[in-house]
Amino acid sequence: MEQDFEFVEPRICDRFRGFLPIVIDVESGGFNAQTDALLEVAAVVIEMTPMGELRPGTTYRYHVQPFHGSRLDPASLAVIGIDPHHPLRPAIPEKEAIGQLFREIRREVRDRQCTRAVLVGHNAAFDLAFLNAAVARTDIKRNPFHPFSCFDTATLGGVAFGQTVLSRAIVAAGLEWDPNAAHSAIYDAEQTAALFCIICNRFRSIYEEARERAPQLARPEPVPPPEGDEPL
């Protein structure tokens, strides 16, 4: 007697214990998140196909005005190719940029029935430090990101492909890298998102075996209480 099986479409909220991965890349006026200007931030939402594969989704990008008194290292500006004071640069104040980004991410988290976002970055501690510093400076409420947990594609790339440099990991993963487009927040974020998805998809069988072995560990984290009364 044949038994009918109902296909249950996989959900990204079940993949990472309720966390929604959001790739973040920042461009800055130096390496010190407390003193150096945040100049550009890009975010790529990670989504899941009906067959359970991860793929890059919507991209958000904001040009940011240097905060008052911030440091701008000429060597860093030369590498990233940003003129912070160019009259045609469509930059907005830091609080406005982060506020707009967080509203979009909170909506993405809610629409996917997740509990909060988790930052994905290449050398993720750098991006998370600049993001958290901007939040503290501007006193923004309802930060959708986990305050310290993150996924680092430098580590994942080293494990999966033996490469920790983003450009090398991208090539090792079978993708193309354009050195002329590098150090743009949107390009680096989208390449990092592609790398993250490739690695996660190739490790999918390990994840599924673990889920069968200990299904109770896959339960989502509790939804954190809202902070403040800022509208979505």
> Among all residues, which ones are annotated catalytic?
183
Query: pTM to 2 decimals?
Result: 0.90
Question: b/e for 100-135, b at 16 or more Cβ within 10 A?
Answer: ebbebbbebbeebebbbbbbbbbebebbbbbbbbbb
Measure CA 185 to chain center: 11
Which class would CATH give 13-216? alpha beta
Looking at the chain, how many residues does it have?
A: 232
Enumerate the H helices of the chain as residue ranges.
12-15, 74-80, 94-111, 124-138, 153-161, 166-172, 185-202, 204-213
Domain ranges of the chain: 13-216
Residues of the chain under the 70 pLDDT cut: 1-7, 218-232
- Model confidence pLDDT, tens digit, residues 180-199: 998 899 999 999 999 999 99
